[in-house]
Structure 1
């Protein structure tokens, strides 16, 4: 009884780390059966559509697959195809980096920074050309100079101005002119991606130089200020051009980068084995992604509005589901492989994305999908504006500014605006729900009128519309606003209210499963 009352108090607090009570075994089992059954069926629908509708799809979205499978491969996901091929091309450079890093660490550690910088510049010049390297350094140098005045406002003005040159003309045309590559689209994409990530890095460096606001996620102390301020261009060049994290990240803010670079960890057999296993795990997920693209053509199907408009609701739901899962798997590899290379250099980069099947709150999606970007936003935007400690108004203003930056950093296009807007609406709805749960009347209802298990069921039901909002935001992000609109029409408007009720029931079950997985993970962390 005492434990039940304790759970009630935790639930009524509206804390994001709520440990929900367990459900009756039969009820949990029924949710599991429904969830697995629905996922299995919508996957079958996508597979069937991949077989039946393949001739109606864009032939340029396919190429010959693995010969022993005798299947075409869906190559419509430009981002995955690009980075998969690039990683294959630069992997020998990673091996060279690892060898150089260990030699420098063991024999000439005083020149380790310079060795990393020179080697990275040789690699990047070979892959991207010297012109774009000079442009990245020019951007970084301008930000470095702006930080000399110790004004965070000036740093942000300069940073946003440099970001503007990536989003609008004539900056775009000028960047395109820096390449003489025949495949202009791919080279331009690489340039823009590298410049955008560099913008995050030199902004972090400059803000740290100006004295960034410390928060609970920081390990920085007053005695460390001189070390982390780092007023050297060599430090900036190392941070910007550090090879393992240069191309895709994950983002490591400068205060952590500088401290971790100075760490000296013992190179043990256990560390070698663990890192090798993690790299093999990333290669496994990469090959699994490739295998999926031979059988489930969700990317090519999504880009054909005629097929999506005529497909069954289960097929449409399956396309959306597998787009989300593939997106997570894609970034698991894109973040995971470079992270494990960086760990050999004693870095501890942010973890890769948490499986989206375990996430039912969209605020958790932002926290656990791209942890590096989340920390950047929190440390340099949200906390300086007051954060959650400054009241609801400033908390909202901080959230708005974070989402505005995300919109601008991702390219300032209409479909990005819709994605960001729906994200903000979802996160705001979630925050409003937590705020309302603290009101005396609602808190009393949850703690005295209904049981903790009923509170869990209520919270799961209230999470459904927020989850749907986030799902349509993702659809806009994957395929543009036209695709997002088609998904909304098919899954919500057509067949109303049956389609809405069916979708709500189907989402309620996996939300309960996600709650249970999170409950067990938190209990395990609490007891460990």
Structure 2
């Protein structure tokens, strides 16, 4: 492994990280095997393990039920779209809409479908009549208010009665409605600013096809309209060409390998939930009595499960989109590979990052903007994230902490990577290797609060506050051990990023 430090030193850090992760997992295994009061309330797991399985993550359970009960709609989608490509059917968006609309109607009901299409019709009408981005954002604010209102108990029951569905289906509606908000913003902002020659790519049928594209209808990820439009361009360019059997073989092979990959991650994740009852422990057990390895093991495994969950939930729609020549955003990168928190935002949910960067942040600032203006743009971006996720205290804490951490990280790294700092530091610490170690130690202190902020998102306010308390209020020696641990993990993540950058640079040289 090539990095900024000698390989023998990186090997030491790698061995340390493996031992640390194994120790944390061992401590969680002990907690999972202890006498848990609600053990018998968990679902029965796979017979081969003769154990219960942690079923306390509702989002994961909903996703599994969706795939188990409605997998055939994914099959219908991909078969029908490929047949229509073979027959040179020009309006693929109409087909996407028909499949998505029928699936929505069959899985839910007509009221559910009408509620979603109403949002799309109103947004399209507003962009048609007013042709101003301000009106789109005002309308988006109204949708966000409605979305958050329905999460309150009094209005939630109103949604149950209005949609005429059971409570679990209302949760589905809120998730799908939130995805539709992002898609409507993307489509209509692009439509307002498009050139005259591209107007034909912004018809109402294209809007409906984009909105009801079934593979990403329930679970995301965020796919901005310009990516969808690239598929339309490719389709129009190839409409007069013969159907390429070699190309379909290549696409099919890539698709199958992707699906096998995500199935493998699914199996690994399910096996993990048989032995590590992380969600149940967070919800029901007092964390004050657990040791530091078990506590941070809970944080690590919750983060890793969250990572795996979205690799699978985003990965399946991404595989379908790539098969259909939509340039999809990348799947989430492993959280263990991150040493700068700004990279977490770029590469964990690449589609959401692209949406926020393109439609919010860059519309308020440029590279030459003042520091104050950039900070304000970051604040507005994270304010949108908070509102879109929901008016909950743990989301508010997570959003504010993320915003502060990224702004501080930017200032710190601009300083420690500047020529002035390097020149002065080298006079004292002498070598480039020591300079990289110093940066890693400083970077570790910036990374700690960013990591802790995510525990609020994973497990709620009480979970996050336990980490804050254990990290910052238990004395200097305790904090020294925690920061030292992060410092030892930091160079491995940095070396992985350096390797990936060199690999990608080599690929570009080969291509061009």
Q: Report the TM-score when normalising by structure 2.
A: 0.91
SS at match of 1:22: coil
Give the C-alpha shift of residue 365 in structure 1.
0.4
Q: Matches of 2:209 and 2:163 in 1, distance apart? A: 25
Give unmatched runs, 5+ long, in structure 1. 1-19, 213-221
Give the C-alpha shift of residue 173 in structure 1.
4.2
| 1:38-57 CA distance string (max 9 Å, x none) | 1111110001110014x235
Give the C-alpha shift of residue 502 in structure 1.
1.4
Residue 160 of structure 2: aligned partner: 176
Residue 478 of structure 1: aligned partner: 458
Tell whether the 8 Å contact from 1:328 to 1:356 is kept in structure 2 after alignment: yes
**2:66 aligned with 1:86, yes or no?**
yes
Give the C-alpha shift of residue 108 in structure 1.
4.5
Select the residue among 193, 208, 214 that pairs with 1:211: 193
Change in 2 beyond 3 A, CA 1:498/1:157: same
Residue 248 of structure 1: aligned partner: 219
Q: Matches of 2:133 and 2:96 in 1, distance apart? A: 29
| 1:302-352 CA distance string (max 9 Å, x none) | 11242x211111101101000001100000000001111222222121111
SS at match of 1:390: coil
**2:275 aligned with 1:304, yes or no?**
no
**2:206 aligned with 1:235, yes or no?**
yes
Tell whether the 8 Å contact from 1:165 to 1:172 is kept in structure 2 after alignment: no
Select the residue among 296, 304, 319 that pairs with 1:325: 304
Residue 24 of structure 2: aligned partner: 42
**2:287 aligned with 1:287, yes or no?**
no
Residue 187 of structure 1: aligned partner: 169
| 1:272-302 CA distance string (max 9 Å, x none) | 2121011111111111111110001111111
When structure 1 is superposed on structure 2, of 344-353 and 449-458 the one drifting more is: 449-458
Give the C-alpha shift of residue 89 in structure 1.
1.7
Give the C-alpha shift of residue 462 in structure 1.
1.4
Tell whether the 8 Å contact from 1:46 to 1:318 is kept in structure 2 after alignment: yes
Q: Matches of 1:448 and 1:196 in 2, distance apart? A: 54
Q: Matches of 1:227 and 1:448 in 2, distance apart? A: 58
Paired residues in the alignment total 493
| 1:227-261 CA distance string (max 9 Å, x none) | 26744211111110011111111111112212223
Change in 2 beyond 3 A, CA 1:115/1:271: closer
| 1:375-434 CA distance string (max 9 Å, x none) | 111111111112333231221111111100000000122110000011111101111113
Q: Matches of 1:325 and 1:369 in 2, distance apart? A: 12
Q: Matches of 1:36 and 1:84 in 2, distance apart? A: 30
Change in 2 beyond 3 A, CA 1:387/1:448: farther
Q: Matches of 1:300 and 1:483 in 2, distance apart? A: 12
SS at match of 2:460: helix
Change in 2 beyond 3 A, CA 1:406/1:387: farther
Change in 2 beyond 3 A, CA 1:524/1:111: closer
Q: Matches of 1:227 and 1:451 in 2, distance apart? A: 56
Q: Matches of 2:488 and 2:220 in 1, distance apart? A: 34
Give unmatched runs, 5+ long, in structure 2. 239-243, 508-512
**2:131 aligned with 1:147, yes or no?**
no
Q: Matches of 1:196 and 1:330 in 2, distance apart? A: 19
Tell whether the 8 Å contact from 1:208 to 1:228 is kept in structure 2 after alignment: no
Give the C-alpha shift of residue 483 in structure 1.
1.5
Tell whether the 8 Å contact from 2:386 to 2:396 is kept in structure 1 after alignment: yes
